[in-house]
């Protein structure tokens, strides 16, 4: 058992917490969940505690809400580390360029081509996913917000 497995279970009850557990900061976030249950910080101990808790959804949601700032700070620090680690790689730039081309093509197609009525919902779903990926790529390069930058500075001062 690893933190990604625990994250999959938790994601059904507390999506943000589950995503954090399944990501690179899973061990740190797992420690928060372990403390809430009063168990060891091993993934299998936390998984057993969640499975044994009939109110697991409530407990995990409380942990998610109580520690939202800490989880966000951990995730922000991880993104900053990813930016530094990929500073010399061509791949993030290539993915961003591909997304720019895809979003531009999609917008052009939606503006000038008629969408078959039977396919509208699927096309809108795909368009939304593509724009979400594009926004994530832009946030990767530019940072997500001024508040995020201020949090990062505060973390680095500790």
pTM over 0.85: no
Domain interval for residue 101: 88-157
Task: Answer whether residue 101 is part of any domain.
Answer: yes
Task: Answer whether residue 40 is part of any domain.
Answer: yes
Same domain, yes or no, for 111 and 147? yes
Cβ neighbours for 132, distance < 8 A, ≥ 6 positions apart: none
pLDDT at 45: 92
Give the pLDDT band of residue 21 (cuts 50, 70, 90).
Answer: confident
71, 104, 126: which is the final residue of a domain? 71
Same domain, yes or no, for 64 and 123? no
Rounded to whole angstroms, how far apart are CA atoms 20 and 6? 10
Domain count, the chain: 2
Same domain, yes or no, for 20 and 64? yes
What's the pLDDT tens digit per position in 121-144? 898 888 888 888 888 777 776 665
Task: Answer whether residue 78 is part of any domain.
Answer: no
Same domain, yes or no, for 149 and 116? yes
Task: Answer whether residue 82 is part of any domain.
Answer: no
Q: Return the HEC string of 53-103.
A: CCCHHHHHHHHHHHCHHHHHHHHHHHHHHHHHHCCCCCHHHHHHHHHHHHH
């Amino acid at each position: 058992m690893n933190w990604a497995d625990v994250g999959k279970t938790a994601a059904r009850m507390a999506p943000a917490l589950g995503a954090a557990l399944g990501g690179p900061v899973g061990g740190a976030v797992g420690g928060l969940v372990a403390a809430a249950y009063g168990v060891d910080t091993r993934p299998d101990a936390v998984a057993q505690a969640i499975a044994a808790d009939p109110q697991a959804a409530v407990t995990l949601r409380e942990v998610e809400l109580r520690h939202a700032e800490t989880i966000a700070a951990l995730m922000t620090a991880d993104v900053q580390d990813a930016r530094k680690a990929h500073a010399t790689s061509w791949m993030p730039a290539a993915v961003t360029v591909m997304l720019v081309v895809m979003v531009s093509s999609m917008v052009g197609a939606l503006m000038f081509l008629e969408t078959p009525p039977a396919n509208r919902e699927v096309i809108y779903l795909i368009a939304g996913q593509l724009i979400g990926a594009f926004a994530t790529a832009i946030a990767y390069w530019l940072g997500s917000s001024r508040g995020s930058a201020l949090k990062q500075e505060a973390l680095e001062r500790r």
